Amino acid sequence: MTRRRPFFIGWSADAPQTRRRTLLGAGLALAAGAGGGVAAVVAAGREPIGSGIWDTGQVRTLHGVLFAHPYPLLRTLDLGAGARTVFLATDGKAAARVPPELQGRWVRVSGTLLSRGANAMLAVEGLAAASGAEASGLRDLQTTALGEVLLTGEILDAKCWFGAMRPGYGRTHKACAALCVHGGLPTAFCRAGDCGTGNEAPLFLDPNGAPHGHDVLPLVADPVFVRGELVRVGDVTELRASLDAVRRL
């Protein structure tokens, strides 16, 4: 005697049990496929986050000469590859304070390191005068003019771009960048197409090599066009331009 198959009524709201299992399986497969497709689309459209790293798990101690201008920074040999410039910040959204009595002095600075390519910044936890002989060559900042340029890109805060935020550029970074710039942190300029994948972003300064201050805030993290001059000071490349030479795109 053969087993009777369930009778399916086409207009009924209820499908037979075997068909319900089939439909359920197909639905789950379609949902999984759709989810994978959405994930693939989202991943494909995601902005590159960049190679910046903030090594919060290791406190570093660096020795070098302390400077307050154009931003608080340390010139040191402790990172290898010759004399290096390390910008100094707090662990928040502000530049480190340079005591007047330590400017131009041989010091010891401890903190956690942010790095991206040859760029470096230290979130300072301790700063004091250091004993011992000063390493040679740290005060020799040769300045080389690299010529006038016309660039499109974005003005951003260096700390986020070095590794404090990922991605450290674009509209998602605008509010954070404004707070960092307001706190006196360095501004930099990334060229269009290089913000996510590149490792070079010249320091963004006025024509005299000084910070723009809060006047630059309305332009931060927006696509812009700038006419200025590239200058190499020691191991740091600077883009010097007046804000009148910046146009939002």
Q: Which residue has the tokens 């630059």?
A: 216
Q: Are residues 181 and 209 in the same domain?
A: yes
Instruction: Return the pLDDT at 181.
Output: 94
Residue 237 — very low, low, confident or very high, per pLDDT cuts 50/70/90? Answer: very high
* Number of C-beta neighbours around residue 209 at 10 A: 14
Where a domain ends, among 73, 104, 129? 129
Q: Cα dihedral sign for 204, 206, 210, 214?
A: negative
Give residue 116's domain range.
Answer: 53-129
Number of structural domains the chain divides into: 2
pTM of the model as a whole: 0.80
Give pLDDT tens digits for 6-50: 444 443 445 555 555 554 454 544 444 545 444 433 334 556 766
CATH code, domain with 123: 2.40.50.500
121 and 147 share one domain: no
If you ran DSSP here, which 8-state letter would residue 16 be given? -
Do both 110 and 165 map to the same domain?
Answer: no
What's the confidence (pLDDT) of residue 42? 34
pLDDT at site 12: 44
| E strand map for 68-118 | 73-76, 84-89, 106-116
pLDDT at 10: 42
Q: Which residue has the higher pLDDT, 136 or 71?
A: 71
Q: Quote the pLDDT of residue 43.
A: 39
We report the CATH number of the domain holding residue 212 as 2.40.50
Summarised one tens digit per residue, pLDDT across range 201-225 is 999 999 999 999 999 999 999 999 9
Q: For residue 141, which amino acid is it?
A: L
89 lies in the same domain as 147: no
Same domain, 162 and 221: yes
**pLDDT-based confidence at 52, cuts 50/70/90?**
confident
Q: Say yes or no: 78 and 118 in one domain.
A: yes
